Structure 1
Amino acid sequence: MCLYYTPEHAKVGDVIPFFDRRSGRFENFYLKNWNPDAPREQVVHGWHRMSGAWPDQIEETPVHILGGTGSVVEMDGTYHLFYCTFDDNPQRQWVRHAISEDLTHWHEVGEAFGPDSSIYEPTDWRDPFVFWNEDERCWWMLVAARRRACSGRNGCVGLCVSDDLLHWRAEGPLYAPDIHPAAYECPDMFRMGDWWYLVFSNYTDGFATYYRMARSPLGPWVRPAIDTFDSRAFYAAKTGSDGHDRYLFGWIPTRGENTWGFDPAPEYGADYRTWNWGGSMVVHRLVQHADGTLGTAPCADLAARMDAAPSRPVRLTPVQGTWRTEGDGITGHAEGFAAVAGCPMPGQGVLSTTIRFTGDPVRFGLMMHIDASLTDGYYLQFDPRHQRLEWRSGLRMHERGGQLFPYAVEMERPCVLEGGRDYLVEVVVDGDQAHLYLDRDYAFGMRLYDRRPGMAGWYVEGGTLDVLRMGVTAFGIDA
């Protein structure tokens, strides 16, 4: 059993969600990035179709679309697929169109088209996202683009419109804030209630999937205080709806191919290698708040499995500092550092804890795969003073970690943290990856490649932490 789909000898790249009204289920596609050691006779490049709900039930079919990210829509019984291709010397990018009756066999229609050079740069014109805009009564195509501008900070979401899916007219950018010096990749747009949402990914001046919100499909676009869905280890996410819930399909990257030659010496460990393009598919369910902002929860299938499996209570034992036991909970207070440990880390399962902090702690958090010395392992740190979550790998505790990282923070994401209230912390573990869900409304993904057998526990630094209850749910071989 697997919780997050990873193809054999390959990585999941950009996912193209499509909910098929004929079958009543998602018939998604993705860009398959084969590993360097994949058996040559198995390699089929291009788009692959995924059929099946649960990750270990997915069956793949290559559809022989050789190109980059796009989208699929259905009109009058015919499926339409839009994708992009790339030229060199000179560098150009093109949008292409194919049709099908069965989602597997496709043939091209029309001619490839590039950007209007009076509006957009010719080098970036990719990832077409097509949808019927009910407000405007026409088809819209969003494109990852860069507009003509006076500086290199010209990444934008381009816009084309059509009445028939065949003939397209370029308009000015839908969104052009002049922040990022690269195209806004994998654009996606949808309406939920009274709000429109624009989703895109970017890898310059940050590395994440972002969103903006507006009352109209034409904007103006509002940037929410927390404008991401997950950590840095989540990219190229696009959304799809089954008519009831809307889901966010992205990938958590693997490590190890050293594509850019940046990796340190092998003895430092796999946690310190650079990220690959693609990895394991991660699916979140989007949660809409009263003010229109969005949160991220486990997808329906994963949430059902989390709720159905029995949870075993964990008895936490003080390891360092002063702790006081009260009923099922334990409270720690420390001027310095206090820690408790409880259960071995599951290979596949869920660590579930209800916590509360009071006062003004410097930080507190969950320790994973921790050893008896509390120096080897992983730390998922809650940082109320900076209103963020931070991920720290084991090597950060040692001198060579300080030499390797010439910066203070390894991986972080903003998070609103309020003292005196209860938080439900659920960490889903699946081998070398883990995903935090906070109150089933906030997500933070991470990789754990250099994990060793060890314990899970909690710590607090310079403050007070109540661990009200903790349990472990084991799946698969740990059950």
Structure 2
Amino acid sequence: MSLFYTPDRAKVGDVIPFFDQRTARFRNFYLKNWNPDVPRDQVQFGWHLMSDTHADSIEDTPVGILGGTGSVVDVDGVYHLFYCVFENDPQRQWIRHAVSDDLMHWNDVGEPFGPDVSFYEPTDWRDPFVFFNEDEGRWWMLVAARRAGGSDRNGCVGLCVSDDLMHWRCERPLYAPDVHMSAYECPDMFRMGEWWYLVFSNYTDGFATYYRMARSPRGPWLRPVIDTFDSRAFYAAKTGFDGTNRFIFGWNPTRGENGWDFDPSAEYGADYRTWNWGGSMVVHQLVQHADGTLGVAPAGDLPAVLHRADHEAIAVEPVPVQGDWHRDNGGNGGWTGSGDGFAAALGAGMPDAGYVAATLSYDGQPARFGLMLHTDERLSDGYYLSFDPLHSRIEWRSGLRMHERGGQLFPYAVEMERTFLMEPGKRYRVELFVDGSTAVMYVNRDAAFSMRLYDRRPGKFGWFVEHGTVHVSDVSVLGL
């Protein structure tokens, strides 16, 4: 049973969500990145069509589209696919258009087109996202681009418009904040209630999938206080709507190919290798708040897998290791841990695949509190998912960072944190879904934090607090 789809001997790259109204189900595509050890005669490049969305039952098939990310729409009984192609010397990128009647066999139509250089740099013009803008009564195409002129901080979302899907006219960038030094990849746009949302990914000055919100498709675009959906280990995410719920599909990167020739020596372990392009597919369900901002919850497949499991989740009681731990009054099964330094308690054995959950709250302003994973009884090895109230963030750390040489490793864990606002006394339901090295934590089914756990050893999960007090209750674990 698998929680996060990873193709055999390959990685999931950019997912292109497509909900097919003809079959009333998602028929998603993705870019397949083959592992280096696969014989070249077995590699089939380009777009692949997924047979399902359930991670443990997906099969994929190549469809002959040799190019980069794009989008698919169904108009008058014809499927239209837009994608990008690349050329070097000089570097140029072009948009292509193909049509099909079965999603499997595609024929290119029209001529590839590039950017209007009065608006955009000619080097970046990719990841077309096409949709019908009902407010304007015509087709829009968003493009990952770089604005012409100014400094190199010119990453933007480009805009083209059309009346017939065949003839496109470039307009000025839809969104160009002049912040990042690369194109805004995998742009995506949708309306939910009274708000429009613009989604894009970027890997300079931050590595994440971001969103902006506006009352009009033309903006002005507002940056919410928390403008990401997940951690650095969730990228190139695009959304899909099934008529009831909207989901966001991204990838949790693997490690180990050293594609950037930047890995530290092997003695540090696999957790400090650099990230690959592509990995395992992670899907969240979008949650809209009253103020229009967005959160994410586990997609239906994850809770469904737990319900299909052969046995029930078991309750777990903390076993104190360090600091002061005592049972709470009231008989609710909760525990309180505190210490002037580091206080920790261990629970049951950490499953290699399954589910770990607990409800946490804190008093005052502890330096950190949170979950320990794959931890030994001497608190030497393991991982720490830390809530940091002072800095309003969640942070992932491995046990190696606590050792003498840990200070040399900080660059290899860079950006494994995200903003999270918290307050004393509030209860936080923490749910961790883990499948081998892939793990995703949800908090109150409204925030996500994806990570990789490569150097895990047999150990337990537990809870900790540093310079403060934490309350732990409703603890359970389920192994799959």
Same-fold call, TM cutoff 0.5: yes
Partner Cα distance (1:263, 1:407) in 2: 8
Tell which deviates more after alignment, 108-117 or 357-366.
357-366
- 1:331 maps to 336
**What is aligned with 1:351?**
356
Q: Does 1:447 align with 2:440?
A: no
- For the 8 Å contact 1:391–1:410, the answer to whether it is kept is no
- Unaligned 5+ segments in structure 2 are none
Identity over aligned residues, as a percent?
Answer: 70
> Offset of 1:308 from its aligned partner?
5.9
Residue 307 of structure 1: CA displacement? Answer: 5.2
1:336-395 CA-to-partner distances (Å, cap 9, x unmatched) read 111100100011111010111111111101000001110210000000000000000121
Give the distance between the partners of 1:77 and 1:315, measured in 2 at CA: 58
How far 1:406 moved relative to its partner?
A: 5.5
Unaligned runs of 5+ in 1: none
Q: Is the 8 A contact 2:273 2:412 kept in 1?
A: no
Instruction: Quote the Cα distance in structure 1 between the aligned partners of 2:411 and 2:93.
Output: 37
Paired with 2:452 and 2:413, the residues of 1 have a C-alpha distance of 19
Give deviations 1:223-278, integer Å, cap 9, x for gaps.
00000000000100000000000000000000000011100111211000000000
CA–CA distance in structure 2, aligned partners of residues 226 and 107 of structure 1: 42
Spell out the pairing of 1:92-111 with structure 2 (5 A cutoff).
Answer: 92-111=92-111
Tell me if 1:71 matches 2:71: yes
RMSD value, Cα: 1.2
Preserved CA contact (<8 Å) 2:320 2:344: yes
Partner in structure 1 of residue 62 of structure 2: 62
2:43 aligned residue: 43
Q: Distance in 2 between matches of 1:214 and 1:177?
A: 15
Kept after mapping to 2: 8 A contact 1:72/1:80? yes
Alpha-carbon displacement from aligned partner over 1:390-446 (angstroms, at most 9, x marks no partner)? 000121011122123259966110001111111100001111111100000000001
Residue number in structure 1 paired with 2:313 = 311
Aligned to 2:120: 120
Q: Report the 3-state secondary structure (helix = DSSP H, G, I; strand = E; otherwise coil) of the residue aligned with 1:451.
A: coil
The answer as to 2:176 corresponding to 1:171 is no
Matching residue's letter, 2:275: W
Contact 2:272–2:413 under 8 Å retained in 1? no
Q: In the aligned structure 1, how far is the partner of 2:424 from the partner of 2:304?
A: 30
Deviations 1:456-477 (A, max 9, x none): 00001111101022110222xx
Q: State the partner residue of 2:159.
A: 159
1:34 — aligned with what? 34
For 1:147, the equivalent position in structure 2 comes to 147
CA 1:227–1:302: 2 relative to 1, 3 Å: same
SS in 2 for 1:210: strand
* TM value normalised by structure 1: 0.98
Map of 1:210 onto structure 2: 210
| 1:416 alignment partner, one of 418, 421, 424 | 421
Aligned: 1:135 with 2:135? yes
8 Å Cα contact 1:390/1:409 also seen in 2: no
Q: Which residue identity does 1:78 align to in structure 2?
A: V
Contact 1:313 1:472 in 2 (8 A): yes
Is 1:266 matched up with 2:271?
A: no
Answer whether contact 2:232 2:415 (CA < 8 A) is retained. Answer: no
Q: Aligned partner of 1:50: which letter?
A: M
Match of 1:291 in 2: 291
**Preserved contact between residue 392 and residue 410 of structure 1 (Cα < 8 Å):** no
* Number of residue pairs matched by the alignment: 475
Q: C-alpha distance in 2, partners of 1:152/1:164?
A: 34
Per the alignment, residue 474 of structure 1 pairs with 479
For the residues of structure 2 that align with 1:424 and 1:307, how far apart are their CA atoms? 18
Match of 2:276 in 1: 276
Q: Tell me the distance in 2 between the aligned counterparts of 1:88 and 1:473.
A: 51
- What is aligned with 2:226? 226
Equivalent position amino acid for 1:366 in 2: L
User: Within 1, Cα distance between the matches of 2:388 and 2:306?
Assistant: 27
Output one character per residue of 1:310-331: Cα deviation in whole Å (capped at 9) or x when no partner: 2100011110011111231110
Is the partner of 2:30 in helix, strand or coil?
strand
Query: AA paired with 1:429?
Result: V
Give the 3 Å change call, closer, same or farther, for CA 297–14 of structure 1 in structure 2: same
Q: Which amino acid aligns with 2:316?
A: V
Per-residue deviation, 1:40: 2.8
CA distance in 1, matches of 2:56, 2:308: 18
Cα distance between partner residues in 2 of 1:255 and 1:308: 31
Aligned-partner Cα distance in 2 for 1:176–1:210: 14
Q: TM-score, normalised by structure 2?
A: 0.97
- Alpha-carbon distance in structure 2 between the residues aligned to 1:257 and 1:195: 41
Q: Once the two structures are superposed, what CA deviation does each residue of 1:16-66 show, in whole Å capped at 9, x if it has no partner? A: 000000011000000000000013332100000001131121121100100
Aligned to 1:378: 383
- SS, match of residue 461 in structure 2: strand
Worse-superposed segment, 298-307 or 196-205: 298-307
Secondary structure of residue in 2 paired with 1:118: coil
Distance 1:285 1:44 in 2: 31
